[in-house]
Amino acid sequence: MQWPTHEVTNQVPELQDYNIFSSDAVLMQGLEHFQASWHQTDLLRYGAELGSKEILQLGELANHHLPELQTHDRNGLRIDRVAFHASWHQLLDLLRKEGLQALPRMQPQKGAHVARAAGYYLQSQVEAGSLCPTTMTFAAIPVLQNEPALFAQLKDKLYARHHDARDLPIAQKTSIMIGMGMTEKQGGSDVRSNSTFAVPLATGGRGADYLLTGHKWFFSAPMCDAHLVLARTEAGLSCFFVPRWKPDGSKNAVLVQRLKEKLGNRSNSSSEVEFQDALGIMVGEDGRGIPTIIEMANLTRLDCVIGSAALMRHALTQAIHHARHRSAFGRLLADQPLMRNVLADLALESEAATLLMLKLASALDAPDDLLSRAWKRIITPAAKFWICKRTLEFTGECMEVWGGNGYVESGPMARMYREAPVNSIWEGSGNVMCLDVLRAIARDPQGMQLLLAQLDTSSAPALQRLALELQAELNATPEQQEMRARRFTQKLVLGMQALLMLELAPPAHATAFINSRLDPECGRIYGSLGADCEQALQQEILERALASS
């Protein structure tokens, strides 16, 4: 017999059956500003679908029922297959139906990259692991387009708006996914130390067949139908298209040794593999593997920014929803001055991150514009450094809003917190990004000056001063620049975010962002907005972030 000991009260109802898109005023405004409003009807439908109880549960299921490696079948034959829960395949089908693996190529028009970024941002708020093969497929397409004969065989399957979960040779499938494998045990980010080697089957060269021998320490999504990998030839590191199955229908010799047991991103399988004379087709010029694949890296880095901005948005939404329904000490949390300060501060951070990811996506839509090129090449790695790092602190703060309820796995906050670090690490950790910012500036000093000119001509004196500080940093010695690269990158990103807030946010909101982010006394702790951001303004910021219901 169960004895009733208490009545359950003051518990927050689950946030579900809401429209993830229409509840985000910043995203909707940004879509129009960056000329992608033609996609709004689709995003309204998609936002409602993603916010439904049924779809939100798919994310929970995919992270509860983890992928399992099956190295052999029951007869002892090597199969190297990873089995997934049905929810994983349903999530991938959602992504494919929206064309998020190829939208700008399928519907090339103004704002196409922004439209795709918005859809990716929405699904990121439901489940992050399924984004990995989607991102890699999206980023692989421009690399493969440089090989017309190979791309002609793959195009329809890459652009298909459905997910084909069957483990079959590419010729027998209706849609395919592409992964990537670059890092090895001895090198990590230092891919120039790779030891995997490739031997030509005949004359060799671009488009020719090779046999690869070696390993990859992080081989993302091994159930992808093919991977782009780096291997060494006599000419140096080269890029290869390595299919899961050979054209004759036999399994390629890519042996999955084990799956990684990761902190987060658990629904997605990351693996260690060995190549034992695995068939690979050379993509790009012999010995030019890194330049061949660099465009892929730039696109995946942008998706890291989008994914982290989406984690911020989802965590913020959950925190505001919780605070509006939970009481403590006689008042709703949302009505208490200190909590309101924290939430408003978080809302400003989320808005600036969202605007930055949309701006970077829009830069891809204007490849010939010098300023857009500077945003793409210089600010993308800077944004990946800063936004992805801020997400760790951000999700932790939102978890704290929930208190003990946020620390248990039955709610959404713990999964978001575990998910937050991956984007800081994947595709280059913080130091790698900051050094890449310096390299990008060295290659495009004119572009950097165009960025500084935007700060210098802004209406905010604080940004004009920031432009002078950044210019002074550029005059330092190379060793000093490297030593201070993180400080420089942080200032640069904050300056670009402030510009976007001035352009798109309500003036008082932009002022609050600038005053807090460029004020050393505020530090990096959320909830330190000053006297210039009082109760009425904080409430206005929160209503913009998530309208009361």
495 CB burial (10 A radius; 0-12, 13-18, 19+): buried
In this predicted structure, what is the pLDDT of residue 257? 97
Nearest to 322 by CA among 30, 155, 542, 506: 542
Lowest mean pLDDT segment, chosen from 90-99, 238-247, 291-300, 478-487:
291-300
Share of the chain above pLDDT 90, in %: 91
pLDDT at 100 (0 to 100): 97
Residue 536 near residue 348, CB atoms below 8 Å: no
Q: Which range is least confidently modeled, 3-12, 65-74, 476-485? A: 3-12
Q: Are 68 and 83 in contact (CB under 8 A)?
A: yes
Residues 6 or more apart whose CB falls under 8 angstroms from that of 325 comprise 12, 13, 332
Span 334-392, pLDDT tens digits: 999 999 999 999 999 999 999 999 999 999 999 899 999 999 999 999 999 999 999 99
Instruction: Express as a percent the part of the chain with pLDDT over 70.
Output: 100
Query: pLDDT tens for residues 495-529?
Result: 999 999 999 999 999 999 999 998 877 777 899 89
Query: What residues form DSSP beta bridges with 216?
Result: 273
Domain map of the chain by residue range? Answer: 25-159, 170-289, 292-545
Q: pLDDT band for 298, please (50, 70, 90 cuts).
A: confident
Distance from C-alpha of 39 to C-alpha of 112, rounded to nearest angstrom? 9
- Taking only the tens place, the pLDDT of each residue in 24-46 is 999 999 999 999 999 999 999 99
pLDDT at 293: 86
Q: What angle do CA 65, 129, 524 make, to 5 degrees?
A: 120
CATH number belonging to domain 170-289: 2.40.110.20
**Beta strands 327-328 and 331-332: pairing type?**
antiparallel
Residue 549: pLDDT over 80:
no
Is pLDDT larger for residue 521 or for residue 542? Answer: 542
Q: CA 398 to CA 241: how far, in whole Å?
A: 42
- pLDDT, residue 474, reads 96
pLDDT tens for each residue of 165-222: 999 999 999 999 999 998 999 887 888 888 999 999 999 999 999 999 999 999 989 9
Distance CA 343, CA 26 (A): 16
Cα separation, 317 vs 403, in Å, equals 15
What rounded mean pLDDT belongs to the chain?
95
What share of residues in the chain are helix, strand, coil (percent, to 5)? 55, 15, 30
CATH H-level, domain 292-545: superfamily: Butyryl-CoA Dehydrogenase, subunit A, domain 3 (1.20.140.10)
**Domains 170-289 and 292-545 alike in fold:** no
